[in-house]
Amino acid sequence: MNAFTDRFLAAADDKGAPVCVGLDPVYERLPASLQQRAADAGARVHAIHSFCQGVLEAVADHVPAVKFQAACFERYRAPGFAVLFELIQQARELGLIVILDAKRGDIGTSSAHYAVGLLADPQGPDALTVNAYLGADGLEPFTDLAAVEGKGLFALVRTSNPGGDAIQGLTLTDGRTVGEAVADVVADLGKRDTYIGDRGYSLLGAVVGATKPADAKSLRDRMPEQLFLVPGFGAQGGTADDVRACFKPDRTGAIVTASRSVLYAYEKSDVADWQTAIATAAGDLNQQIADILK
Amino acid sequence: MNAFTDRFLAAADDKGAPVCVGLDPVYERLPASLQQRAADAGARVHAIHSFCQGVLEAVADHVPAVKFQAACFERYRAPGFAVLFELIQQARELGLIVILDAKRGDIGTSSAHYAVGLLADPQGPDALTVNAYLGADGLEPFTDLAAVEGKGLFALVRTSNPGGDAIQGLTLTDGRTVGEAVADVVADLGKRDTYIGDRGYSLLGAVVGATKPADAKSLRDRMPEQLFLVPGFGAQGGTADDVRACFKPDRTGAIVTASRSVLYAYEKSDVADWQTAIATAAGDLNQQIADILK
């Protein structure tokens, strides 16, 4: 079985750019044709299911990967969870690499349960986002199982939201920021031989927001073997230069993810068909990032 | 509607001590009578459901609160989630305060979805654990909804596992540790008037491990309005002195939680009936903490 990082890099080469469309579906923003008045929770989950099926079909030819936001499905509890895993399977059948953005993390014994639930299924997600605040022993059950299953992980290092600065941006007595200290924990845990794929990347990657370009440069140096998952391009304000700082000179090393700007492209489009508007936006995202990396 | 903190403190007065039994059910450790050979996932979820029903009945007279570990249920995905919420409802019908230990946390738009899914249901959990690494704007959707719904939150400040030190124990240039900086974010967000209950505690509490007594004292001073959720007593090695540091001089301010030492009490008991062994262990936990606080 190929390592997750090798699978992703091959898919990005194939599709032309290392991009990812985020599926963060919110009932109130679905195309009008999919909404009903006074829909109950079951009808909302059904509409979200239909919408995401259409999104996956629309983007599959244009991008190598998709990212599901677990919160949008967990909002509907068990029925939402069931739909999430059906969609993950569909995405994989369409040839997409699937990242589950669940930001899980706990002490080791509990992380091991999350790891089994979310990484052990061959038809489940290719990769998972995790929270590193509990340190390496909270991450190891994830990395150990990912190594066995050929899956990947992205630990939160520097998030794209404004409030992250109040913790991640603080400076330690040794000169590092808190985000850099977390980066060092990630780089250190991730460098085990069995975690490194053929193209030199570790199964343990990092989330680094596109809205923090100054930090991205330092984090790129500290984590040479980490693939960066880079949210914040587009709707959250990240620019081309912000994105460039997350890549290495060889133009690999990051996955640029855009969610709302692609997912709700029909809100700002003249195209009548929402699937076509989303497909066009996914193609544009791919082209934009390909151009940035030229 | 009473605030979560007031409900918990009243229940602790009623039951004699501010304790909580953690439900972290693992199939392989269930009583032999509940296990079958070669059980598939459905049979395992069913056995865990039966076991937890028995645990809730056994502990309801002895402790004010229970805490469900979400990972043990999410391991089984949608069916696990369905059982988790059935058990939460049962626990509430038995008069128990219910904490869901899910350690969720994301940027604000996503945290809002988790908040709706986990805090908006009147029959759902009374309180939820959350991860504060993304800062105040990642927590606010939780605190805002909790205020409306009379629910509570516990943000991870200082965790009980060894690996937490590598991040939470680092020292900042201003002299604070990272854990103390997170504590300050929690105290600051939690002090809004609408978040404070009749007995002076904020709906936003903190997780502070019983295995870090030196830190607990400083954190107690920094977070005067926070209820501490204190794991690590018992199986993880926390002692009576460790626990005392989490309380205020008036003997309120913390919830001591024990999981494996109560849940699997039948493994080390001569009592034939597993429910009786668990009930006895829950009563002992209550008495131990009542004695510590005398």
Contact across the interface for A159 and B134, Cβ inside 8 Å: yes
| Sequence-ordered list of residues with C-beta below 8 angstroms from that of B249, at least 6 positions apart, any chain | none
| Nearest beta carbon to residue A135 from set B80, B111, B167 | B167
Contact across the interface for B81 and A76, Cβ inside 8 Å: no
Contact across the interface for A117 and B77, Cβ inside 8 Å: yes
Domain count, chain B: 1
| pLDDT values of chain A reduced to their tens digit, one per residue, 294 residues | 689 999 999 999 999 999 999 999 999 999 999 998 878 999 999 999 999 999 999 999 999 999 999 999 999 999 999 999 999 999 999 999 999 999 999 999 999 999 999 999 999 999 999 999 999 999 999 999 999 999 999 999 999 888 999 999 999 999 999 999 999 999 999 999 999 999 999 999 999 988 877 889 999 999 999 999 999 887 677 788 889 999 999 999 999 999 999 999 999 988 889 999 999 999 999 999 999 999
Closest-approach residue (CA) in chain A for B117 = A75
The pLDDT of residue A39? 85
Q: Distance from A165 to chain B by nearest Cα, in Å?
A: 7
Contact across the interface for A76 and B117, Cβ inside 8 Å: yes
In chain B, residues with a C-beta closer than 8 Å to the C-beta of A157 are none
In which region does residue B235 sit, left (phi positive, over 0), alpha (psi from -120 to 50) or beta (all else)?
alpha
Question: Considering only CA atoms, which of A159, A190, A191, A89 is closest in space to residue B77?
Answer: A89
Residue B175 has a CB neighbour count (10 Å cut-off) of: 8
Q: Which of B103, B248, B268, B294 is catalytic?
A: B103
Contact across the interface for B171 and A166, Cβ inside 8 Å: no
Burial (CB < 10 A; 0-12, 13-18, 19+), residue A165, is middle
Contact across the interface for A107 and B165, Cβ inside 8 Å: no
User: CATH number of the domain that B272 lies in?
Assistant: 3.20.20.70
The pLDDT of residue A28? 95
A219 vs A237: CA distance, rounded Å: 20
Q: Distance from B41 to chain A by nearest Cα, in Å?
A: 11
> Which residue, among B29, B109, B140, B174, would best test binding to A if mutated, counting the most A CBs under 10 Å from its CB?
B109
SS3 call for B157: strand
A137 vs A73: CA distance, rounded Å: 28
* Residues facing A254 on adjacent strands: A228
Contact across the interface for B133 and A108, Cβ inside 8 Å: no
Domain that holds residue B252: 4-292
Residue type for position B278: I
B40 vs B26: CA distance, rounded Å: 14
In chain A, residues with a C-beta closer than 8 Å to the C-beta of B189 are none
A95-to-A20, A56, A172, A208, A282 alpha-carbon distances in Å = 13, 10, 44, 26, 16
Contact across the interface for A167 and B182, Cβ inside 8 Å: yes
SS3 call for A258: strand
In chain B, residues with a C-beta closer than 8 Å to the C-beta of A105 are 103, 131
The pLDDT of residue B211? 80
Q: Distance from B258 to chain A by nearest Cα, in Å?
A: 14
Burial (CB < 10 A; 0-12, 13-18, 19+), residue B173, is exposed
Closest-approach residue (CA) in chain A for B161 = A107
Question: Considering only CA atoms, which of A252, A256, A174, A166 is closest in space to residue A209?
Answer: A256
Interface confidence, given as ipTM, is 0.97
Contact across the interface for A82 and B85, Cβ inside 8 Å: no
Tokens (6 digits) for A107: 């002490």
Across the A/B interface, how many CB contacts are shorter than 8 Å? 190
Range A199-221 burial, b when 16+ CB lie within 10 A, else e:
eebbbbbbbbbbbbbebbebbbe
Q: Distance from A13 to chain B by nearest Cα, in Å?
A: 30
Q: Distance from B166 to chain A by nearest Cα, in Å?
A: 6
B124 vs B93: CA distance, rounded Å: 11
Contact across the interface for A167 and B131, Cβ inside 8 Å: no
Catalytic, A191? Answer: no
Closest-approach residue (CA) in chain A for B136 = A163
In chain B, residues with a C-beta closer than 8 Å to the C-beta of A162 are 135, 137
Q: Which of A15, A67, A103, A248 is catalytic?
A: A103
The pLDDT of residue B1? 66
The pLDDT of residue A162? 87
Tokens (6 digits) for B237: 């090695």
In chain A, residues with a C-beta closer than 8 Å to the C-beta of B82 are 77-78
B203 vs B196: CA distance, rounded Å: 6
| Nearest beta carbon to residue A82 from set B78, B161, B173 | B78
Mean pLDDT by 10 residues, chain B (294 residues): 93 97 97 89 96 98 98 97 98 98 96 98 97 97 98 95 92 97 98 97 95 87 97 79 92 95 93 94 96 93
The pLDDT of residue A9? 98
B220 vs B197: CA distance, rounded Å: 18
